[in-house]
Amino acid sequence: MKTYQGIIFDMDGLLFDTEKLYYQATQEMADKIGLSYSEELYHRYIGISDEELWEIYHELYDPVIGAQAVNEFIATTFNLTVEMFEAGEADLKEGVLELLEFLNEKEVPKMIASSNQRRLIDILLNKNKITHEFETILSFEDVKRAKPDPEIFEKAHQFLARPKNELLILEDSKNGVFAAHAAGIDVIMIPDLVAPTSEVEEKVIEIFPSLTAIPSFLNK
């Protein structure tokens, strides 16, 4: 087993159990104004950037309620999500703290590369007191092209300043896996709400049910 000299974490659905909260907030706001929304629709767009999701909402709902009402729907959903995060409703995923401790003992650098907004990332990390665990954080604001484009992982590679074959990416979404593969960096998938497809399985080195499996994998 190769020795990795840098670990790159996604955030939503990997470090924090946020995906169910995003769905809950969106469904609640959609129900309030009578929009047709579903868990299947939410799952379809997991892993894309906020900007891309907002464009999709406008395509779907502008003909129904108009662009201004869609903007209000997006804003109220975002505000409800922030309230949930600030209230501490986003739990750490299983194995996060143990993995961070393991990597600290091994002195392996670690960072976050997330398609989310920096404001939300900071709320979650600060609430759970793990901001200090990461050398740096790359967010939606740091790139021009969101996952599955590899830009964010290319920037992570530049920051860690290690050969790509010494880096490992941990992801929970299809778009994250595709971005990692396009960047030429090993990726392990920890599926959250959506099971991996055969196309995803071809692009990862391993699939594990939770982060609890990562320390023993790295110790092989």
Contact between 10 and 134 (Cβ < 8 Å)? no
pTM value surpassing 0.75: yes
Question: Which of 38, 58, 86 marks a domain boundary?
Answer: 86
pLDDT grade for 146, boundaries at 50, 70 and 90 = very high
Among 33, 67, 86, where does a domain finish?
86
pLDDT tens figures, 3-57: 999 999 999 999 999 999 999 999 999 999 999 999 999 999 887 888 889 999 9
* 136 φ, ψ (degrees, to nearest 5): -160, 170
Q: Is residue 70 part of a domain?
A: yes
Q: Are 187 and 214 in contact (CB under 8 A)?
A: no
* Domain assignment of residue 104, given as a range: 6-17+91-218
- Does residue 64 sit in the same domain as residue 142? no
CATH number, domain at 206?
A: 3.40.50.1000
In a domain, 146, yes or no: yes
Residue 103 lies in a domain: yes
Sheet architecture: strand order including 6-9:
137-138, 110-113, 6-9, 167-171, 186-189, 206-207
Half-sphere exposure of 197 toward its Cβ, with a 13 Å CA cutoff? 8
Q: Which residues of 83-103 are buried (b: 16+ CB within 10 A; e: fewer)?
A: ebbeeeebebbebbeebbebb
Domain end marker among 31, 55, 86: 86
Q: What is the pLDDT of residue 1?
A: 62
Q: What percent of the chain has pLDDT over 70?
A: 100
Judge whether 1 lies within some domain: no
142: Cα within 13 Å, side-chain hemisphere: 22
Same domain? For 73 and 137 the reply is: no
